């Protein structure tokens, strides 16, 4: 493991432009369950129902009661962990240009990263379905569900539900970053949700070194990934920073 960390550190030091792709795994140590595996959201709710846009638009009260109010409680309490803070430190020390994240929890910004491409939008922001009035997550009042705007419209999170498009500007920036970077750190993603899963492949095709950080193997391991650092994001980021 130590020699793999050293190899990764050399690649990061020699890179002119490094980006990161993060997924739900980086936020597990902040108490936010991932989508798949033990203790996941998938086990608790049927995401194809509750995280699907047409179901939400037809049954906003049920989706707010069962799913979104629980998500809001979890996300407002969550704090960045050593994985997020490590990526923020990498940016501060000039080793990381930006982050492409599939997460909607806003923890990279809370950790201090300044250029975060939110591939699936953000649960930190809400808007009214009728008048587009915007609110921060902290301003959403859950005493009566679904939460409503002063115009009577229902609030929804500014994140991408199943059945919705990736924001075109995020998709295009992510593709540009992937094709131009020298190194991509792929942290805590199962690399199965498209189109995010193709970002490491785009990077690799463009000649980048793909460094994966994950406690479990993924479809990238031993295929697209040049270096796989097996472990939790917090531990591995701490080791990388010690050696940089």
Contact 122, 107 (CB under 8 A): no
Residue 112 binds which entry of ligand NAD, Zn ion, none, CB below 5-8 Å type-dependent: none
Contact 140, 72 (CB under 8 A): yes
Catalytic site residue from 17, 59, 84, 120:
120
- The smaller minimum CB distance to ligand NAD, of residues 202 and 218, is found at 218
Contact 91, 112 (CB under 8 A): yes
Identify each DSSP E strand in 35-140 by its residue range: 98-101, 116-118, 121-128, 134-136
Interface size with ligand NAD, residues (CB under 6 A): 27
DSSP 170-198: HHHHHHHHHHH-SEEEEES--S-STTGGG
Instruction: Check residue 147 for interaction with ligand NAD (CB under 6 A).
Output: no
For the chain, how are helix, strand and coil distributed in percent, rounded to 5? 45, 20, 40
Q: Which of residues 115-134 bind Zn ion (CB under 5 A)?
A: 128, 130-131, 133
Distances from the Cα of 127 to the Cαs of 68, 135, 205, in angstroms?
A: 14, 6, 38
Contact 11, 209 (CB under 8 A): yes
- Give the interface segment with Zn ion, choosing from 96-104, 151-159, 216-224, 231-239 (CB under 5 A): 151-159
Please give the Cα distance from 213 to 231 (Å, whole number): 7
Please give the Cα distance from 179 to 89 (Å, whole number): 24
Which of 4, 7, 17, 29 is in the footprint of ligand NAD by CB under 6 A?
29
Instruction: List the x/- string, 173-202, binding to ligand NAD by CB under 6 A.
Output: ---------------xxx--x---------
Q: Which of residues 211-230 bind ligand NAD (CB under 6 A)?
A: 214-216, 218
In the annotation, is 108 catalytic?
no
Which of 88, 104, 149, 224 is in the footprint of Zn ion by CB under 5 A?
149
Which of 153, 206, 219, 231 is in the footprint of Zn ion by CB under 5 A?
153
Catalogue the active-site residues: 120
Contacts to ligand NAD by CB under 6 A: 23-29, 32, 34-36, 41, 102-105, 120, 188-190, 193, 214-216, 218, 232-233
Contacts to Zn ion by CB under 5 A: 128, 130-131, 133, 149, 151, 153
């Amino acid at each position: 493991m130590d020699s793999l960390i050293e190899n990764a550190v050399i690649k990061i030091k020699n890179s002119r432009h490094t980006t990161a792709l993060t997924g739900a795994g980086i936020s597990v140590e902040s108490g936010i369950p991932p989508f798949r595996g033990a203790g996941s959201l998938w086990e608790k709710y049927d995401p194809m129902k509750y995280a699907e846009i047409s179901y939400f638009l037809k049954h906003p009260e049920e989706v707010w009661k069962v799913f979104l109010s629980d998500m809001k409680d979890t996300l407002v309490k969550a704090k960045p962990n050593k994985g997020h803070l490590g990526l923020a430190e990498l940016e501060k020390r000039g080793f990381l240009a930006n982050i492409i994240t599939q997460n909607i929890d806003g923890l990279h910004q809370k950790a201090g990263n300044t250029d975060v491409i939110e591939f699936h939008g953000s649960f930190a922001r809400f808007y009214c379905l009728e008048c587009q009035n915007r609110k921060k997550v902290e301003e959403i009042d859950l005493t009566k569900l679904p939460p409503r705007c002063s115009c009577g419209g229902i609030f929804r999170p500014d994140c991408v539900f199943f059945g919705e498009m990736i924001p075109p500007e995020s998709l295009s920036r992510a593709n540009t970053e992937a094709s131009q970077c020298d190194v991509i750190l792929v942290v805590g993603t199962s690399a199965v949700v498209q189109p995010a899963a193709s970002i490491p492949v785009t990077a690799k095709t463009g000649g980048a070194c793909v460094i994966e950080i994950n406690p479990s193997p993924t479809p990238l391991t031993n295929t697209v990934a040049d270096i796989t650092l097996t472990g939790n994001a917090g531990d591995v980021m701490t080791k990388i920073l010690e050696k940089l």
